[in-house]
Structure formats: structure tokens, C-alpha cells
Chains A and B, each alone.
Chain A
Amino acid sequence: GAGVSQSPSNKVTEKGKDVELRCDPISGHTALYWYRQSLGQGLEFLIYFQGNSAPDKSGLPSDRFSAERTGGSVSTLTIQRTQQEDSAVYLCASGGLADTGELFFGEGSRLTVL
């Protein structure tokens, strides 16, 4: 596809379970971000991948959160032992330049932790 694809679009899970969210960026884009958006709130930075450089993990809220980007393409955000406060929309975005170009967002993965 031509755009950023995220899956699942919706995920309902029980407190304490682990979840994996997937992002397929636009082909050729070297920059990939994960942001979190709680209901009616802003775009909270989580993690940033740029090419083969070590990711910037400074936005991850706790050690329950981790992310990988395999082969410079697909990325997976993993949340372990989910808590109710993890409920939010997780948005992935990719871009063709390091930090000075347009980001293209996916539709997001809505996570609900019961």
C-alpha cells in the first residue's frame, strides 16, 4: 500500500496481558515514530527510529514498553503487563528525512485495557 499501515486497528485486552502493535511504514522511509494519544489529548512521543542508528527511547513511559524495527522497515511496539492507564490510540508515523520532513501517520491502533 501507499500509506502507513497499522494493526490491529482495535485491541481490547485484560489488565496484566501483553499486547503487540504493528506498523508498516511507507517503503523507503528511514524515520519511524511511535506516539500515544489519549482521549482528547496531544501526541505523546514514545520512540524514534532513524535508519540503522540506535533508537531514541527517551519517551517510553516505563520498562513495560519496548519497540523494535526489523530490517529498517516494520516496527512492533510491545506493552507488557498492560495497565488501564495504557488505554489510548497508538499512532505510528514514518518520514523520508531524519528530523526535517513531513511525517505520514497511520490510522492508529486503539488499545483498551479492561
Chain B
Amino acid sequence: GENVEQHPSTLSVQEGDSAVIKCTYSDSASNYFPWYKQELGKRPQLIIDIRSNVGEKKDQRIAVTLNKTAKHFSLHITETQPEDSAVYFCAAPPGGKLIFGQGTTLQVKP
């Protein structure tokens, strides 16, 4: 199959708290897992990605972890800020094309 499942669909946190979004994929040959952020009315933009030869990658307040055995990967945002409010999409390349998850709407309450 070529599914990329993402949850939760919505997430509300208080400013300063952490947020975690999880995705699962079905194609064990997938080797690249990006995360995109889409602010309201704007185009999606890459915020972080991870390749299958590593288990974790960090960039300031965001990190991504990958469990190839279980075929799932997660986005972690620490010390959330109001400007983190957006829709976040995970993706994976089953069959060689990039397929996106359903998206998670993150709301950070000040």
C-alpha cells in the first residue's frame, strides 16, 4: 500500500508546552521523511526532514524521530510559541513519489 497516516488531526497546547505529531507509513522501502508547515493562506514549506540512516534529527526547537522497524516517525516541537500555530504535514515516498499525511492543525494558545 501507499498510505501515510497522521494523527492527531487537531492539537491544542498552551504556549511553552511541547507538541508531538505522529505518522505511520506502509512501504518499508521508504527512506526519506520530511515535515512541512502550512500557515493559513500560504504554501507548504519544509521545516525538517530525516533519512532512514538516522534515528533522530534536531533543529533548534523541532526534532524528528524515526522508527524504521515500526514504520513510524514523529515531529516534536518544544517550547511552543503562537507562531508555531499552523497545519503540519508529514510525508513519505512510497513507490518513489511523495505522499502526504492528512495534516495536523496545531493551535498554540498564548
Contacts and interface: CB of A to CB of B under 8 A. Distances in A.
Interface string B46-66: 100101000000000000000
A99 B102 contact: no
Contact of A106 (B31, B43, B93, B102): B43
Interface residues of A, number: 21
Given A42-B101, A43-B103, A102 B34 contact: yes
A100 interface: yes
Contacts of A103: 34, 36, 46, 98
Contacts of A100: 31-32, 51, 93
Given A42-B103, A43-B103, A102 B96 contact: no
Interface string A76-114: 000000000000000100000011111101111000000
B37 to A, nearest CB: 11
A91 B32 CA distance: 21
B89 A42 contact: yes
A43 to B, nearest CB: 4
Interface residues of B, number: 22
A100 B96 CA distance: 9
Nearest to A4: B43
A103 B93 CA distance: 12
A102 B37 CA distance: 13
A20 interface: no
Nearest to B105: A40
A114 B89 CA distance: 30
B67 interface: no
